[in-house]
């Protein structure tokens, strides 16, 4: 969806006043472009919404861990939510205070836990009894006593795509209420841990505030007997509008519903998508146009390797031309060159007549876009540009074929 940062000015699509065609001319396509102003706007929007709860905001790095964006979000005063040691290392590299990092994830390895302990991160969100034991052992070996939140699986099936619903009992995530209670009862068995919080995250792109309220109530019910457990990490999942038709609750709606419940609680939130999704677009160029089976196919140089969400989740990202079309728009299937029928960027984009060389913007692509990009078909991952103030800069260059070879043992190298 277009917004205050991505809009048509004088008939050309702009990012904060910079024509996107100028960036595409200079850098080539496919290419991600992000708006620093939009990211900051989103931070302020969430901050304002959750101010009545005094919530501490931890950006969920999985949405987009581009170093420049992580630094921008750190400078905006956010902590970070990491789900791997790699993400913790990225946050530390960006200068994030380790005490402001929370570490979630259902399958942390011993090496990752050790790394996080040595880094001195703020909270471990623990998802199983075995993980709690391992964390206690590794903390004890180091003479540490880190803070732990137990991740509750509240048994709530969030109304979102099945791949990103995480709060129901068939999902791998978290501990049941009975397990959380049992672990809180036996906290004394883990002398090297301060088990002081509950974590609950029922999914991403959450469409129903009532489900989040129910999850929070479930977490409070479990914590109620333990007066020193008054920290609640309510996760992320705040949704964004991908199309004009999307009707989703705003951060304010979540905060308004939760504020009366959370008085006296220390609250953390872990938004990813809501901070960066509408701050990014993927620019692609048309390679070929053809009619097949009664459908118009627009084959572009961007693909599922650059933006996986349409293939993985059936996600709909609006696609618009960089030059505002005067002509009538008709439906087209926008695809990439990858050898998969799933390689679709849009199944029915409304687009004007197009030809080779025309350029398109895939909108609302800042979250789970570049973060999920791959080298499938030995495609190089796209570069990233950040528009800031009146200027722009490349924050990650395009990968090269040499980059793709870098980690391989080339056993024929040097042989004649």
Sole window of 9-17, 233-241, 285-293, 325-333 interacting with ligand PLP (rule: CB under 6 A)? 233-241
Strand partners, 34: 280, 386
Closest approach, Cβ 129 to ligand PLP, in A, equals 19
**Choice between 83 and 338, CB closer to ligand PLP:** 83
Residues 6+ apart with CB under 8 A from 178: none
Q: What DSSP designation does 203 have? A: B
| CA-closest candidate to residue 103, choices 111, 94, 112 | 112
Residues 6+ apart with CB under 8 A from 266: 54, 56, 197, 230, 231, 232
Closest approach, Cβ 392 to ligand PLP, in A, equals 25
Q: What DSSP designation does 399 have? A: P
Closest approach, Cβ 102 to ligand PLP, in A, equals 9
To which residue do tokens 């883990």 refer?
Answer: 190
The answer to the question of residue 211 lying near ligand PLP (CB under 6 A) is no
Closest approach, Cβ 23 to ligand PLP, in A, equals 26
Contacts 24+ apart (CB under 8 A), 397-403: 398/27, 398/28, 398/31, 399/375
Sole window of 65-73, 235-243, 245-253, 337-345 interacting with ligand PLP (rule: CB under 6 A)? 235-243
Identify the H or E element spanning 291: strand 280-292
The answer to whether the peptide bond before residue 30 is cis (omega within 30 degrees of 0) is: yes
The answer to the question of residue 136 lying near ligand PLP (CB under 6 A) is no
Binding mask 145-184 for ligand PLP (x = CB under 6 A): ----------------------------------------
Q: Choose the catalytic residue: 227, 339, 390, 407.
A: 339
Residue 15 annotated among the catalytic residues of the structure: no
The answer to the question of residue 237 lying near ligand PLP (CB under 6 A) is yes
**Choice between 239 and 310, CB closer to ligand PLP:** 239
Q: Which residues are catalytic?
A: 339
Contacts to ligand PLP by CB under 6 A: 60, 62-63, 81, 104, 201, 204-205, 235-238, 270-274, 367
């Amino acid at each position: 969806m277009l917004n205050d940062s991505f809009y048509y000015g004088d008939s050309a699509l702009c990012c904060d006043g910079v024509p996107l065609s100028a960036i595409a001319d200079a850098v080539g396509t496919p290419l991600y472009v992000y708006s620093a102003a939009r990211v900051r706007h989103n931070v302020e929007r969430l901050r304002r919404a959750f101010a009545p709860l005094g919530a501490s905001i931890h950006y969920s790095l999985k949405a987009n861990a581009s170093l420049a964006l992580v630094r921008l979000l750190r400078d905006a005063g956010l902590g970070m939510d990491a789900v791997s040691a790699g993400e913790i290392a990225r946050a530390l590299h960006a200068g994030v205070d380790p005490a402001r990092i929370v570490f979630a994830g259902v399958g942390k390895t011993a090496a990752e836990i050790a790394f996080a302990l040595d880094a001195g991160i703020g909270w471990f969100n623990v998802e199983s009894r075995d993980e709690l034991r391992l964390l206690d052992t590794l903390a004890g070996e180091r003479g540490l006593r880190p803070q732990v939140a137990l991740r509750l699986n509240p048994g709530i099936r969030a109304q979102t795509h099945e791949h990103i619903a995480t709060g129901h009992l068939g999902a791998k995530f978290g501990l049941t209420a009975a397990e959380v209670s049992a672990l809180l009862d036996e906290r004394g068995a883990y002398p090297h841990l301060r088990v002081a919080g509950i974590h609950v995250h029922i999914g991403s792109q959450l469409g129903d505030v009532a489900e989040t309220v129910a999850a929070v109530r479930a977490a409070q019910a479990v914590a109620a007997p333990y007066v020193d457990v008054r920290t609640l990490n309510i996760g992320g999942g705040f949704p964004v509008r991908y199309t004009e038709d999307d009707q989703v609750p705003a951060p304010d709606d979540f905060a308004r519903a939760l504020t009366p419940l959370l008085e006296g609680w220390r609250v953390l939130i872990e938004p990813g998508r809501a901070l960066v999704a509408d701050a990014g677009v993927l620019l692609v160029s048309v390679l070929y146009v053809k009619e097949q089976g009664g459908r118009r196919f627009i084959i572009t140089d961007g693909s599922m390797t650059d933006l996986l969400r349409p293939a993985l989740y059936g996600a709909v990202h609006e696609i618009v031309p960089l030059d505002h079309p005067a002509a009538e728009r008709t439906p087209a299937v926008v695809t990439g060159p990858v050898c998969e029928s799933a390689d679709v960027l849009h199944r029915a984009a409304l687009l004007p007549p197009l030809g080779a060389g025309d350029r398109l913007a895939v909108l609302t692509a800042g979250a789970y876009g570049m973060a999920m990009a791959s080298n499938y078909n030995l495609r190089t991952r796209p570069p990233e540009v950040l528009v800031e103030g009146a200027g722009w800069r490349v924050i990650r260059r395009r990968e090269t074929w040499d980059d793709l070879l870098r980690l391989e043992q080339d056993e024929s190298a040097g042989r004649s």
